[in-house]
Amino acid sequence: MCILQGTLPLHFFGAGLSFSMKRRQLAYLTVALGLALARVTQAQSAPTALNLANKGNDYVSVLSKDKIVRIVSDKSAVNLTPEVWHVVYYDPDTPLKCIEVKFGGGQEVDVSHPFHPFQLPASGGEILDKSQLKIDSDRALNIAASQQLVRSLTLKSAKLTLTHSDIGPVWKVQLWAAKLNEPAREADLGTVTVSAEDGAVLKSDLHPGRVQ
């Protein structure tokens, strides 16, 4: 093959173009992996409900410290891990016997004495036994999301509640998943009740068919 001086064969440019495309593909893959890792890291580094309950002791009186009545999250917005939590403590000095510390993004944002019409005052019997709180919100969420009925679905949001029951403290984990034909919309799948003491699934009221 005759090649003019100062010129390069066409296959050389093809090889260069292929190399350039591979570099771009590698760059895109690196960015995608970085974003995925950032989301996972954010979820893992988010404070858990019991961490926040300990932190909330700084905003209540001595009479209320560690006397948790319930912990409730808002429905999560970014991923399955809720960003907003409401920790309710027993407070004998208020009419409804409770005080609430609200957290957003791991920081205290409000302290209030919640009032709801027809709500009965909290009683000492509703105080959760801290020695039985061995399963934190992250583990309860993982247990619920691992249930066979929802494992194949695209889970989008969750809401968690830690409360008293006749058999001890329990987590109630409500899950939402993307609809199959309209991924931007979410379907309420129902609730999984998990023991806060040993992580056992006490009740599964899930309806995966709602994604249809």
Residue with tokens 């583990």: 139
User: Which of the four pLDDT bands, split at 50, 70 and 90, describes residue 44?
Assistant: low
Gap between the Cα atoms of 137 and 192, Å rounded:
13
Mean pLDDT of the chain: 85
Q: What b-and-e string marks burial along 175-185, b requiring 16 or more CB atoms within 10 Å of the CB? A: bbbbbeeeeee
Residue 3: predicted pLDDT: 41
Gap between the Cα atoms of 199 and 91, Å rounded:
29
Gap between the Cα atoms of 19 and 15, Å rounded:
6
Question: How many Å from the N-terminal Cα to the C-terminal Cα in the chain?
Answer: 63
pTM: 0.77
Q: Say which residue, 25 or 52, is predicted with more confidence.
A: 52
User: Which of the four pLDDT bands, split at 50, 70 and 90, describes residue 23?
Assistant: low
Give pLDDT tens digits for 62-89: 999 999 999 999 999 999 999 999 999 9
Give pLDDT tens digits for 90-136: 999 988 999 999 999 999 999 999 877 667 778 888 999 999 999 99
pLDDT higher than 90, residue 151? yes
Provide the token pair at 209: 């068919």
Residue with tokens 């003491």: 197
3-state secondary structure of 82: coil
Provide the token pair at 122: 């909290």
Contact 175, 125 (CB under 8 A): no
Question: Which of 10-24, 34-48, 174-188, 192-206 has the weakest average pLDDT?
Answer: 10-24
**Where are the domains positioned within the chain?**
10-45, 47-211
Query: Which residue in 140, 48, 64 sits closest to 101, CA to CA?
Result: 64
In 83-209, at which residue ranges do the beta strands (DSSP E only) sit?
84-90, 98-104, 107-112, 155-163, 170-178, 186-195, 201-206
Beta bridge partners of residue 175, listed in sequence order = 158, 190
Neighbours of 194 (CB within 10 A): 26
Percentage of the chain beyond pLDDT 90 is: 71
3-state secondary structure of 203: strand
pLDDT higher than 50, residue 8? no
User: Which of the four pLDDT bands, split at 50, 70 and 90, describes residue 24?
Assistant: low
User: Which of the four pLDDT bands, split at 50, 70 and 90, describes residue 5?
Assistant: very low
Write the DSSP assignment of 50-76 as a string of letters.
Answer: HHHHHHHGGGS-TTTTT-EEEEEEPPP
pLDDT higher than 90, residue 52? yes
